[in-house]
Amino acid sequence: MPMKRGGGLTDKARAFAREYPIDMNGTAAATRAGYSAQSARKTACKLLQDPRVKALIDEAVGKAAAKAGLTQQQVLEDIARIGRKAERAKRFDAALRASELQGKYLKMWVEKHEHTGKDGGPVQTESTVQFYLPTNGRDG
């Protein structure tokens, strides 16, 4: 039986929360935390929806950012500086990408993908089922 500690999380779930901020790869973090490789993706998805695990991940990300001396303010200042330099220089892609990744790590912005149907309405789906009955050699 999985061992649970304070907060009702198993040791593996806590290990996942420590591993996830390393590369933000849920499947890899679940595997490193000791979950089965065959179910790691499904397990990671489930763990990332658990508010207790999310809180531990946020805490770990905050500690790692503080250790690296990285703040949201610093990322925004870097982006502004790169933008000002872009007017004078043509090669700023790498620096801007680095700032983008830092901001994503700090969860300053999250990409959302919304799927809608025609004119912003719901996505229309249609299913068709066809039955073929044997004729037993008789037509009609």
Helices and strands, counts by H and E, the chain:
6, 0
Q: Which residues contact 129 (CB under 8 A, 6 or more apart)?
A: none
Task: Supply 55's token pair.
Answer: 């809180």
- What local confidence, expressed as pLDDT, does residue 39 receive? 93
Compute the mean pLDDT over every residue in the chain, rounded to the nearest whole number. 80
CA–CA gap between residue 124 and residue 41 (Å, rounded): 29
pLDDT in tens, 53-65: 999 999 988 888 8
Average confidence (pLDDT) over 57-81: 84
Q: Which residues contact 105 (CB under 8 A, 6 or more apart)?
A: 21, 24, 61, 65, 70
Is the pLDDT confidence value at 1 over 50? no
The model carries a pTM of: 0.56
Residue 122: pLDDT band (50, 70, 90) is confident
Average confidence (pLDDT) over 16-26: 91
**Any idea where the domains of the chain sit in the sequence?**
9-68, 70-107
- The CATH fold of domain 9-68: Arc Repressor Mutant, subunit A (1.10.10)
- What local confidence, expressed as pLDDT, does residue 18 receive? 93
Is the pLDDT confidence value at 86 over 80? no
CA–CA gap between residue 16 and residue 32 (Å, rounded): 8
Task: Supply 101's token pair.
Answer: 């990744």
Contact 32, 73 (CB under 8 A): no
Give the C-alpha distances (Å, rounded to integers) separating 101 from 23, 30, 33, 98.
11, 22, 24, 5
Average confidence (pLDDT) over 92-115: 73
CA–CA gap between residue 13 and residue 51 (Å, rounded): 12
